[in-house]
Amino acid sequence: MNKENKSVVIFLIVIAILSLTNLLNIKIDGEVLKLSGISVIAGVVAFFVTRKTNKTKDEGLNIKTIFKDFKDHPKSIIYALLPFISVILCTIIANKFIPEFTNHLKDRINFATSTDLMRTILTMAVLTLGEEIAWRGFFQKQTSKKIHYILSIIVTSLLFALGHYSAGSFIIVAYDLLFVFIDSSLFGLVFKETDNAWCSWIPHFLADVLALFLI
């Protein structure tokens, strides 16, 4: 492998390992140490460091072609709408059968309990963009060069979901991660169609905002 390809492999391994650290449930002074967030930072750095492995500089992240990418790939619009249905379905089922899920979700995304709504939404915008660049723009794109895109989406979404792990009862945690996996897979399909992390970011961000209002 050349230097660029070696860097890609190293970043992929580091990001995968970091995404699994929440499962260790390491505590410092009673607080759970969550290192999985660093996987996003590593992924963003990896995306820009390894751009030479792409055919063009804007491949995977081009804000200028968002509307064109959606227009040229109609299926991506359908995939982009499905996360909203997923969020609503997740909320309805939880309210009826797993009412404790809401508190679990609030604990997992504790910044969302801030009374400053605009600051919370801005934080979500930045975080979700970072996740899309890291997980779709880098991880999914690079792994899809080596394996079938469906398997790439599954692997990416599985690690993405595990990176959102927060300790709790098995049923609640499994329910939470299941819907994170489903939504991640849908974002992955949007990215696969458009090859643009900006396009997968839009439904990711808006679906998270919807979830924020629902909880």
Give the tens place of pLDDT for each residue, 21-65.
988 877 776 666 677 889 999 999 999 999 887 888 789 999 999
CA 152, CA 161: separation in Å to the nearest integer? 14
Which DSSP state fits 31? E
CA 60, CA 141: separation in Å to the nearest integer? 8
In terms of Cβ atoms closer than 10 Å to its own Cβ (0-12, 13-18, 19+), residue 161 is: buried
Please compute the mean of the pLDDT values over residues 84-91 and round it to a whole number.
97
What phi and psi, each to the nearest 5 degrees, are found at residue 189?
A: -70, -40
User: Residue 107 has what pLDDT?
Assistant: 85
Q: How many domains are there within the chain? A: 1
Domain holding 177, by residue range, is 3-214
Q: What is the mean pLDDT of the chain?
A: 92
Please compute the mean of the pLDDT values over residues 181-196 and round it to a whole number.
98
Least confidently predicted of 11-15, 28-32, 105-109, 116-120: 28-32
Cα–chain-centroid distance for residue 190? 12
User: Residue 112 has what pLDDT?
Assistant: 59
